[in-house]
Amino acid sequence: MQKNYQQKTLGILGGGQLGRMFIQSAINYNIDIHILDPDFNAPCKSICQEFTQGSLTDYDTVYNFGKNCDVITIEIENVNTDALDALAKEGKEVFPQPHIIKLIQDKRTQKEFYQNKGIPTAEFILTDNKNAVIANKNFLPAVNKLGKEGYDGRGVQVLRSEADLDKAFEAPGLLEKLIDFDKEIAVIVSKNQHGEVKAFPAVECAFHPTANLVEFLFAPAEISEDIENKAKEVALQVIQELDMVGILAVEMFVTKTGEILVNEIAPRPHNSGHHTIEANITSQFEQHLRAVMGMPLGDTSLRSPAAMVNLLGEDGFTGEAYVEGLDEAMSEKGVYVHLYGKKLTKPFRKMGHVTILDDNPEKLKERAHKIKSLIKIKA
């Protein structure tokens, strides 16, 4: 007999903060979660039904883990997609589909995909090594990106002029035109097995000037209705062209002339959707659950304007984490603190986030900065 989703076991590759917030949603539907993560102290370790410590990139480890699950999903892209392929062939439901994870693992194939499908993106050249970058010096100013395994800004560098060519990446990557953008926004879209699709409202991301991590996020994005609609359309085009089941975060640039360019995509819950837990009718985590389990998708509307502040490990502190300023922050109305259960802090490690709800967008900005200066993760 076919199982319905209430009887299915869901396996997640990766047991960090995304998995942790995902489990918080799954609990409401009595869904059992199994987790695979290399870290014995992963944030999900003590809150899942079954925890396996092991490598996400090793074929046998991923395959054996998946054998005991009905549905398998990811919270990180760097996983063994051959093992996922084999599991899918044996009838396991693997979402996002393994070939899509593989495509997204490499920024080079991602960019080619946008180009082939007519999805707007910054002009680029593929480069196999440092010499290839140097040979294309006429393309500067540009952003040099590693194809694989770059994240949180590592593997991305700006090459403004010939003087910067010396630091070009030696490994396969690409050169992308440096975009003088007006804003960075993200739209999270989702698709379920029945072909239903939905987009969350666009959010605006503000990056940490040196750490290259999202520092603040504001929802809704301060953009015109026209640009908002265009951004949603592009994000939906991406998920439809991929024919992907699950949730997909689409990072985009809004140029000074109002153009939308896709920067990169992530086929999983994403930092740009953390506020949805409190600020939207359905959170991104529940939406991902609904999508991969074949449930109906939920309404994505914003209940209230929101800001999100990432709590990064304070520079200069490494060791057992201590949260400073928590009481003061918690005394404020509409402040929601999320700590990720990481025992050890180090500079710029993502240790938690705070969502702030406020009807007044101007006040939101002020309050976000205040929370940022109030809460410090030290050791």
Ligand X SMILES: Nc1ncnc2c1ncn2[C@@H]1O[C@H](COP(=O)(O)OP(=O)(O)OP(=O)(O)O)[C@@H](O)[C@H]1O
Binding site for Mg ion (CB under 5 A): 251, 264
143 binds, among Mg ion, ligand X, none (CB under 5 to 8 A by kind): ligand X
User: Which CB, 126 or 323, lies closer to ligand X?
Assistant: 126
Under rule CB under 6 A, which residues in 227-246 are in contact with ligand X?
none
Q: In what order do the strands lie in the sheet with 173-177?
A: 124-127, 173-177, 142-146, 156-159
Integer Cα distance of 202 and 118 in angstroms: 21
215 binds, among Mg ion, ligand X, none (CB under 5 to 8 A by kind): none
Write down the least CB distance from residue 368 to ligand X, Å. 18
Candidate residues 75, 77, 176, 286; the one interacting with ligand X per rule CB under 6 A: 176
User: Which CB, 156 or 335, lies closer to ligand X?
Assistant: 156
Write down the least CB distance from residue 13 to ligand X, Å. 18
Tell me the number of residues near ligand X by CB under 6 A. Answer: 19
CB of 168 closer than 8 Å to CB of 252: no
Write down the least CB distance from residue 327 to ligand X, Å. 31
What is the token pair recorded at 145? Answer: 């990106």
User: Which CB, 183 or 378, lies closer to ligand X?
Assistant: 183
The 10 Å CB-count burial string (b at 16+, else e) for 85-102 is bbbbeeebbbbbbbebbb
User: Which CB, 177 or 365, lies closer to ligand X?
Assistant: 177
Integer Cα distance of 277 and 300 in angstroms: 11
Q: Is 207 in the site for ligand X (CB under 6 A)?
A: yes
Stretch that binds ligand X, among 145-153, 186-194, 231-239, 320-328 (CB under 6 A): 145-153
Amino acid in position 372: K
DSSP 254-305: EETTS-EEEEEEESS--GGGTTHHHHBSS-HHHHHHHHHHTPPPPP--BSS-
Residue nearest to ligand X (CB): 179
Under rule CB under 6 A, which residues in 243-282 are in contact with ligand X?
251, 263-264
User: Which CB, 184 or 278, lies closer to Mg ion?
Assistant: 184
CB of 77 closer than 8 Å to CB of 105: yes
153 binds, among Mg ion, ligand X, none (CB under 5 to 8 A by kind): ligand X
Residues 6+ apart with CB under 8 A from 284: 188, 200, 247, 269, 270, 273, 274, 276, 277
Bridge partners for 126 per DSSP: 174
Neighbours of 40 (CB within 10 A): 8
Q: Is 120 in the site for ligand X (CB under 6 A)?
A: no
Q: Is 178 in the site for ligand X (CB under 6 A)?
A: yes
User: Which CB, 37 or 77, lies closer to ligand X?
Assistant: 77
Amino acid in position 265: I
User: Which CB, 231 or 321, lies closer to Mg ion?
Assistant: 231
| Nearest partner of 47 among 71, 13, 15, 79, judged by Cα | 15
What is the token pair recorded at 6? Answer: 């209430």
Helix ranges, the chain (H): 17-26, 59-67, 81-89, 98-105, 107-117, 130-135, 225-242, 276-279, 284-293, 326-330, 361-374
User: Which CB, 75 or 251, lies closer to Mg ion?
Assistant: 251
What is the token pair recorded at 356? Answer: 């702030």
What is the token pair recorded at 25? Answer: 């949603």
What is the token pair recorded at 92? Answer: 């396991």
279 binds, among Mg ion, ligand X, none (CB under 5 to 8 A by kind): none
| Nearest partner of 314 among 328, 303, 325, 305, judged by Cα | 325
Candidate residues 44, 156, 221, 231; the one interacting with ligand X per rule CB under 6 A: 156
Write down the least CB distance from residue 155 to ligand X, Å. 6
Candidate residues 32, 70, 112, 152; the one interacting with ligand X per rule CB under 6 A: 152
334 binds, among Mg ion, ligand X, none (CB under 5 to 8 A by kind): none
Does the CA dihedral 300-289-102-152 come out positive or negative?
A: positive
Under rule CB under 6 A, which residues in 211-230 are in contact with ligand X?
212
Q: Is 75 in the site for ligand X (CB under 6 A)?
A: no
User: Which CB, 178 or 374, lies closer to ligand X?
Assistant: 178
Candidate residues 10, 84, 179, 307; the one interacting with ligand X per rule CB under 6 A: 179
Provide the binding-site residues for ligand X, judged by CB under 6 A. Answer: 122, 143, 145, 150-153, 155-156, 176-179, 184, 207, 212, 251, 263-264
